[in-house]
Chains A and B, each alone.
Chain A
Amino acid sequence: MSLKYACAIAGVAESRLGVVPDSTVMTLQAEAMVKALAEAGLEKKDVDAVFSSGNWGRLPQLQVAEYLGINPVYSDNTSVGGASFEFHLGHAAAAIQAGLCKVAIILYGSTQRSRRERRIFEAHSDLGYQYETPYGLPIPVGAYALAASRHMAQYGTTSQQLAELAVSTRAWASLNPSAYRREKLTVDEVLDSQMIASPLHRLDCCLVTDGGGCVVVVSPELAKSLPKPPVWLLGQGESHSHAQISEMPDLTITPAAESGKRAFAMAGIKHSDLDVVEIYDSFTITVILTLESLGFCAPGEGGEFVSSNRTAPGGEFPLNTNGGGLSYCHPGQYGIFLLIESVRQLRGECGDRQVNNATLALASGTGGVLSSNSTCILGLE
């Protein structure tokens, strides 16, 4: 079985991003949903499936659907960190293909910046965490720092290479009016920024912002009748390998190795066929590990791969074209924005940052502490 052409994305939208003090997680999700449905040419009453992730509530899936006034006949709260939304897209495709629903919305919202509801990783000191918590590893940054230390020791990856990725990503952000940080960034500024958990500096780390997003996923028949050109799901794969970093089998290989293999096989395309790539950049090292695990380069070559402005505007490998979690926005679980940017690039709506003639895009979400990955391949036809 395959999910190729099982569904299409008909509408995408962000809420207000950055610092949005006069909002709640509900207002941001409502804002994004209204915009995304309008773009899709659909109404709220058309929505029959809800997918969301968040850890802001007691039963967030029920709370957000109640707030929006939706009684779904298909409901999925798969919550595996920032990659959740790429999982959702695959699950929505399967549900639509099975005929269980026709119009699914994928939702996210966070006010972590303004309202300090940063409970994501706090207060977990029981079960498996009792063997980690006493050592004071800051989560998530410390876990990614451990992976970076291993990659550097094993392959000779350098802080300079990590910094180059941050700089290239910022260059994309400078072309995106919605990006939170748009001023020019240099490699030295990254290397001179405060050390948080060696070898990761402050500017190796994603932003902390508010924001929300919505993606409208519809059946193939419906997609063809709606205003926007359909963006088709061509391939999707998902996997997770652990919850806590001490249980990760190999700190240099992420679950993207498994999910990417499945996504490429389903889409029936080669890496070189892709025009634009959106990879979760919670930290600079996340991107290097994911590029290797997805097979864009050999294990250990990720540092070299992202250097020399290769991923910057005008470079041969357009990567994180909205400015990424590093410079555009990062409201806790960033994965929904990978889908939004992929869709906009394929539709040719990206203005100064538009990649020419983009017809195939890849969005790869990573969640937890390199724990989960889902990779989606999207195309115009």
Chain B
Amino acid sequence: MAEELPDPDSSPYWEGINIEELRYQQCNHCNISIFYPRSICPNCGKPDPIWQTSKGKGTIYACSVIHRAPPAYKEDTPYVVALVDLAEGFRMMSRIIDCDTNSVKVGQEVDVVYRKDNTGNRIPYFTLHNS
């Protein structure tokens, strides 16, 4: 990741991750959940969304087992990258870890976990629910 991170939009998110809280935003005008963090609501355009904390429970919307990785992630292959729909109504990218990569399917329930990635930053991953 670039040195200049976190930035003014993202620092509450990354500060949350560091204390194992998955934060997202909610518009206090139209009430939609917002991710990634922004200074205005991408739906209604009103400023200053408020920060909320997710329970970290979601469903796999899409997933792919990566066999040919970008150079920095070569040693991790094969691994599962997924788009996860959180119960609070926002979607984020993550990996599904601690699983048989071929057993991961669209529609499965997942729970957030926190691990350090290979650059030493703590980031949110997901595991299969009840696994």
Contacts and interface: CB of A to CB of B under 8 A. Distances in A.
Contacts of B67: 194-198
Interface of A: 125-128, 130-139, 141-142, 145-150, 152-154, 194-200, 245-247, 251
Interface stretch (B25-33, B45-53, B58-66): B58-66
B113 interface: no
B61 A245 contact: no
Contact of B1 (A133, A139, A141, A197): A133
A197 B106 contact: no
B39 interface: no
Contacts of B2: 125-126, 130
Given A197-B67, A197-B81, A198-B64, 4 more contacts: A134-B117, A142-B64, A199-B64, A246-B36
* Interface size band for B: 35 or more
Contacts of B66: 136-138, 142, 197
Among A137, A142, A197, A200, max chain B CB count under 10 A is at A137
Contact of B107 (A126, A147, A153, A245): A153
A128 B36 contact: yes
A125 B63 contact: no
A233 to B, nearest CB: 33
A135 B81 contact: yes
A246 B83 contact: yes
6 contacts: A130-B10, A138-B68, A149-B62, A149-B63, A149-B64, A153-B105
Given A131-B92, A150-B62, A136 B1 contact: no
A194 B66 CA distance: 11
Contacts of B5: 125-126, 130
Contacts of B79: 136
Contact of A138 (B35, B70, B94): B70
B69 interface: yes
Among B63, B64, B93, max chain A CB count under 10 A is at B64
A209 B128 CA distance: 40
A251 B62 contact: yes
Given A136-B70, A153-B107, A146 B62 contact: yes
A116 B76 CA distance: 24
B7 interface: yes
Nearest to B95: A135
A134 B68 contact: no
Among A141, A195, A245, A246, max chain B CB count under 10 A is at A246
A135 B94 contact: yes
Interface in B66-117: 66-70, 72-73, 76, 79, 81-83, 91-95, 105-107, 117
Among B61, B117, B123, max chain A CB count under 10 A is at B61
Contact of A136 (B13, B35, B63, B81): B81
A-B pairs, top 6 by smallest CB distance, nearest first, are A136-B73, A153-B106, A145-B64, A146-B62, A150-B62, A198-B65
B65 to A, nearest CB: 4
B60 to A, nearest CB: 9
Contacts of A146: 62-64, 81-83
Given A135-B95, A137-B66, A142 B81 contact: yes
A300 to B, nearest CB: 14
A66 B6 CA distance: 39
Contact of B83 (A126, A130, A245): A245
Given A149-B62, A149-B63, A197 B68 contact: yes
Contacts of B73: 136
Contacts of B83: 146, 245-246, 251
B33 to A, nearest CB: 13
Among B10, B68, B94, B95, max chain A CB count under 10 A is at B68
A245 B84 CA distance: 12
A150 B106 contact: yes
A366 B39 CA distance: 29
B3 to A, nearest CB: 10
Contacts of A148: 64
B113 to A, nearest CB: 14
